[in-house]
């Protein structure tokens, strides 16, 4: 049998060339597809970052002008179920139901404020009656400290100073003069800063009243026209966006009401502990002091310390050492218990893990300082609502295409 080796070689060569061309074609097509997918993913990610940056700057430069209406919208969303209940159950006209609910809310707020201010005034009147005795005790304590501690210490310092070499005395005098100059400069700057802020403080109260009126009017209008606004939104926005807005509204309502509930629980626990502690220490007007403590507990960072720290120092200076120890223990217990239960209560009320709450609190304090304490709950609620709405998953899917 004879074989045509040249023809076989040509066939093998053709097969190899065909295999090479097909492999090259598939490889190039695969690279092109992967490259196109990569470019599309990067482009979508860049577009998303650009949109988020634009939204951030829009919010940053407009929040100072629209925040009263944002607050009014949140309040209106919380009041709408009650107004709808009055309208449906008791057959009230919408405007009457809106006025009734807002009036009841304002009346409740006014009653609470009257009760607190009445307790505060009663406590202050009692304090004014005892103030001369307290002041006399304080003067006696200062005289005792001056005669028994400060004057002997001053004499010892003078004797020690005179025993030093002239060069050492000059060095001490120069350092003391420099320190006093820096102290005077710092005090002067602080006074100038405080005086410069006085106009802002004076303007703050009229502005607060104006903002309160705008929030009240906007709340009334939004609550009264809630169904109309809801209908307009359904006409303008597409269904997907409406679904997202609905989820966002439910999440904000749940998270914000949970945050308010958590703060109420924390304040109630702190005030109860303070009241029980003051009763055990046999302090007069324990209920008044506990009510004031509950009011100032809303202040960031300082909280009840604005009451306890000066009180503890005064008790120590006036010689009330047993009261000083008791107040110090009570203050430490209140702080420790609040720090231990606050992340847990916030997470249980809002639905966020305590570790996440702690991380957000730490980051906001590092970025914004004391203001971060105020912003931390808002940021926590914001991210919780976004997470619950599935926006992060949708953004990831958008980037992947």
Instruction: Return the pLDDT at 98.
Output: 92
pLDDT band at 107 (very low <50, low <70, confident <90, very high): very high
Instruction: Return the pLDDT at 16.
Output: 66
Instruction: Give the mean model confidence (pLDDT) for residues 20-46.
Output: 65
Q: Which of 196, 176, 200 is nearest to 188 (CA)?
A: 196
* Alpha-carbon distances, residue 333 vs 269, 328, 343, 367 (angstroms): 12, 9, 17, 29
Using CA atoms, how far apart are residues 131 and 123, in angstroms rounded to an integer? 12
Query: 284: Cβ–Cβ under 8 A, 6 or more apart, which residues?
Result: 126
Q: Are 274 and 289 in contact (CB under 8 A)?
A: yes
pLDDT digits (tens, 9 = 90+) for 150-175: 778 877 887 877 777 777 778 877 88
Using CA atoms, how far apart are residues 135 and 139, in angstroms rounded to an integer? 6
pLDDT band at 27 (very low <50, low <70, confident <90, very high): low
Query: Is the CA virtual torsion 152, 158, 164, 167 positive or negative?
Result: positive
Using CA atoms, how far apart are residues 315 and 322, in angstroms rounded to an integer? 9
pLDDT digits (tens, 9 = 90+) for 166-204: 777 788 778 877 887 887 788 777 777 766 665 665 555
For the chain, count helices (H), then strands (E): 12, 0
Query: Is the CA virtual torsion 213, 218, 219, 225 positive or negative?
Result: positive
Instruction: Return the pLDDT at 372.
Output: 64
Name which of 3-12, 136-145, 198-207, 254-263 the model is least confident about.
Answer: 3-12
**How many Cα atoms occupy the beta-carbon half-sphere of 19 within 13 Å?**
6
pLDDT digits (tens, 9 = 90+) for 362-399: 777 777 666 666 667 777 777 777 777 677 777 777 77
For the ranges 63-77, 177-191, 298-312, the maximum mean pLDDT occurs at 63-77
pLDDT band at 3 (very low <50, low <70, confident <90, very high): very low
- Is the pLDDT reported for residue 252 higher than 70? yes
Instruction: Return the pLDDT at 221.
Output: 93
Over the chain, what is the mean pLDDT? 77
Using CA atoms, how far apart are residues 211 and 217, in angstroms rounded to an integer? 10
Instruction: Return the pLDDT at 217.
Output: 93
- Specify burial of residue 314 (Cβ count, 10 A radius: 0-12, 13-18, 19+): middle
Name which of 91-95, 134-138, 287-291 the model is least confident about.
Answer: 134-138
Angle subtended by helix axes 166-224 and 226-236, to nearest 10: 90
Instruction: Return the pLDDT at 393.
Output: 78
Instruction: Give the mean model confidence (pLDDT) for residues 58-77.
Output: 83
Using CA atoms, how far apart are residues 48 and 391, in angstroms rounded to an integer? 12
Instruction: Give the mean model confidence (pLDDT) for residues 78-94.
Output: 88
Query: 159: Cβ–Cβ under 8 A, 6 or more apart, which residues?
Result: none
Name which of 14-18, 84-88, 109-113, 273-277 the model is least confident about.
Answer: 14-18
Which of 154 and 100 is assigned the larger pLDDT?
Answer: 100
Domain definitions of the chain by residue range: 250-401
Phi (first) and psi of residue 92, to 5 degrees = -75, 145
């Amino acid at each position: 049998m004879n074989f045509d080796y040249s023809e076989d070689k040509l066939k093998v060569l053709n097969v190899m060339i065909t295999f090479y061309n097909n492999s090259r074609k598939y490889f190039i097509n695969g690279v092109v597809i992967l490259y196109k997918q990569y470019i599309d993913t990067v482009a979508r990610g860049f577009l998303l970052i650009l949109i988020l940056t634009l939204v951030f700057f829009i919010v940053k430069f407009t929040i100072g002008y629209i925040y009263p209406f944002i607050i009014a919208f949140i309040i209106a969303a919380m009041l709408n179920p009650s107004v709808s209940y009055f309208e449906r159950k008791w057959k009230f006209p919408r405007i009457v139901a809106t006025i009734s609910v807002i009036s009841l809310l304002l009346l409740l707020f006014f009653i609470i404020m009257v009760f607190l201010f009445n307790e505060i005034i009663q406590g202050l009147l009692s304090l004014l009656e005892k103030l001369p005795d307290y002041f006399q005790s304080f003067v006696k304590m200062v005289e005792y400290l001056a005669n028994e501690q400060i004057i002997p210490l001053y004499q010892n310092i003078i004797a020690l100073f005179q025993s030093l070499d002239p060069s050492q005395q000059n060095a001490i005098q120069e350092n003391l003069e420099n320190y006093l100059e820096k102290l005077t400069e710092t005090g002067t700057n602080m006074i100038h800063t405080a005086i410069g802020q006085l106009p802002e403080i004076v303007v703050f109260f009229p502005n607060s009243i104006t903002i309160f009126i705008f929030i009240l009017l906007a709340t009334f209008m939004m609550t009264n026209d809630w169904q109309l606004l809801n209908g307009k939104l359904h006409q303008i926005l597409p269904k997907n966006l409406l679904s997202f807005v609905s989820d966002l509204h439910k999440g904000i309502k749940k998270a914000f009401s949970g945050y308010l509930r958590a703060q109420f629980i924390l304040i109630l626990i702190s005030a109860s502990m303070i009241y029980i502690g003051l009763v055990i220490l046999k302090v007069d007007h324990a209920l008044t002091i506990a009510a004031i403590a509950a009011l100032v507990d809303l202040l960031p960072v300082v909280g009840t310390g604005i009451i306890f720290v000066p009180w503890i120092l005064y008790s120590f200076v006036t010689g009330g050492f047993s009261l000083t120890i008791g107040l110090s223990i009570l203050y430490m217990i209140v702080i420790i218990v609040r720090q231990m239960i606050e992340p847990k209560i916030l997470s249980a009320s809002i639905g966020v893990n305590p570790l996440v709450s702690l991380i957000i609190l730490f980051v906001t304090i590092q970025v914004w300082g004391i203001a971060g304490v105020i912003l931390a709950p808002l940021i926590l609620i914001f991210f919780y609502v976004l997470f619950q709405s599935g926006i992060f998953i949708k953004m990831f899917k958008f980037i992947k295409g």
